[in-house]
Amino acid sequence: MSAAYLAPEGFEAELAEELAREVGDALQRFGRLMVAPGPPRAPAWAQNVWYEPERVAIASIKDAARTLRARQRNWAAYSWTAHRRVALIADQLPHVSAKPIAPFAPLPTAPLGSFTLLDRDTLLFAGRCASPFPHGEPRFVEDREGPPSRAYLKLWEALTLIGQRPAPGQTVIDLGSAPGGWTWVLAELGARVISVDKAPLEPSVAARPEVEARRESAFAIEPFEVDWLFSDVICYPDRLRRLVERWRPFAPRMVCTIKLQGQTDHEAVRAFQAIEGSRVVHLGHNRHELCWLYGV
Ligand SMILES: C[S@@+](CC[C@H](N)C(=O)[O-])C[C@H]1O[C@@H](n2cnc3c(N)ncnc32)[C@H](O)[C@@H]1O
């Protein structure tokens, strides 16, 4: 039994360190893709997991395409070597729609497999993958008018993946909210948003009736009952963890960005993973940061 894990671009070292801690030298690396023995795990730095990958010798491009088509319709090609050959195999497979989706749309249900070539003559593929999106990267129909920053795409992605979102009238707190991308998403959902940042919100967001803007430090606020807590504050991971521990008795659901800088602090990430009822993921719209999901 094994699984293959795809790192986000630029974060191969992070995924390798996470997996090597569990499987040591048994980890095999193929560019961003890493194969580890044992049951599938959920490493924070894997943007997609290929379940039970199979290796098959192929005689030709046609042969590879035939092997894949015989299994199922939809395949995403990951290419790290033999790029032209991988592209030629992909050309012989049915077209997979990469149409941008609307936020909060139900996740696609058609199985989407992934494949790559390990060398000219060896196909590695899995029909079942953790993400319904190619390489774990959803694309959204963007809103270029409403949100004041592109950070809103991270929140759209997190809420779409978990299939839950604040209901109209629920009270939510958004920490580190300026210029207001996340606050805009939450206000659009009809939630009552307490929006906290030392910096000002974009006036069009601050003026919305759903929004109460507070110009103060996120760390100075005494916790109170909320339906959801959101945080995109730039701070050290340990400082964020102490903050969420204080809010835990008051906030049943939390969505927070763990900001990392320089050398990734793996120890700090593990401390978040250890919080019961939570998980840490790398969203397609995250860069050197992770998304911590609690109670959802
Ligand atoms: C990545 S930006 C947030 C973007 C925001 N989520 C959006 O969608 O527009 C990080 C924010 O954290 C804020 N910040 C940093 N330290 C803070 C603190 N102690 N209290 C509140 N906000 C803080 C910064 O002012 C900055 O606006």
Could you tell me the pLDDT band of residue 99, with boundaries at 50, 70 and 90? confident
User: Active-site residue numbers?
Assistant: 259
Is the minimum distance from the CB of 219 to ligand 1 under 6 angstroms?
A: yes
Is the minimum distance from the CB of 198 to ligand 1 under 6 angstroms?
A: yes
Is residue 248 scored above 80 in pLDDT? Answer: yes
Give the Å distance between the CA of 218 and the centre of ligand 1: 9
Q: Which of 199, 192, 160, 97 shows the shortest CA–CA distance to 296? A: 160
Average model confidence (pLDDT) across the chain: 97
Residue whose CA is at the smallest distance from ligand 1 atom 24: 176
Please name the residues in contact with 286: beta carbons below 8 A apart, sequence gap of 6 or more. 8, 154, 257
Among the atoms of ligand 1, which is closest to the Cα of residue 259?
1
- 1 burial (CB, 10 Å; 0-12 / 13-18 / 19+) is exposed
The rounded distance, in Å, linking the Cα atoms of 5 and 227 is 34
Average pLDDT rounded to a whole number, residues 20-33: 96
Phi, psi dihedrals of residue 254, rounded to the nearest 5° = -140, 145
Phi, psi dihedrals of residue 117, rounded to the nearest 5° = -105, 130
Among the atoms of ligand 1, which is closest to the Cα of residue 233?
12
- 97 burial (CB, 10 Å; 0-12 / 13-18 / 19+) is exposed
Q: What is the pLDDT of residue 97?
A: 80
Among the atoms of ligand 1, which is closest to the Cα of residue 185?
8
The rounded distance, in Å, linking the Cα atoms of 296 and 292 is 10
Q: What is the pLDDT of residue 98?
A: 77
Could you tell me the pLDDT band of residue 281, with boundaries at 50, 70 and 90? very high
Give the Å distance between the CA of 180 and the centre of ligand 1: 9
Is the minimum distance from the CB of 90 to ligand 1 under 6 angstroms?
A: no
Could you tell me the pLDDT band of residue 126, with boundaries at 50, 70 and 90? very high
Sign of the torsion angle spanned by Cα atoms 120, 123, 124, 127: positive
Q: Are strands 289-294 and 253-259 parallel, antiparallel or unpaired?
A: antiparallel
Percent of the chain residues past pLDDT 90, beyond the cut: 98
Give the Å distance between the CA of 199 and the centre of ligand 1: 7
- 243 burial (CB, 10 Å; 0-12 / 13-18 / 19+) is buried
Among the atoms of ligand 1, which is closest to the Cα of residue 181?
8
Average pLDDT rounded to a whole number, residues 104-129: 96
Average pLDDT rounded to a whole number, residues 241-266: 97
Structural domains of the chain ordered from first start:
2-136 (3.30.2130), 152-294 (3.40.50.150)
Is the minimum distance from the CB of 159 to ligand 1 under 6 angstroms?
A: no
Is the minimum distance from the CB of 179 to ligand 1 under 6 angstroms?
A: yes
Give the Å distance between the CA of 175 and the centre of ligand 1: 7
The tens digit of pLDDT for each residue in 159-199 reads 999 999 999 999 999 999 999 999 999 999 999 999 999 99
Percent of the chain residues past pLDDT 70, beyond the cut: 100
Sheet holding 278-281, edge to edge: 211-214, 192-196, 171-175, 228-231, 253-259, 289-294, 278-281
> Largest Cα–Cα distance of the chain, in whole Å?
66
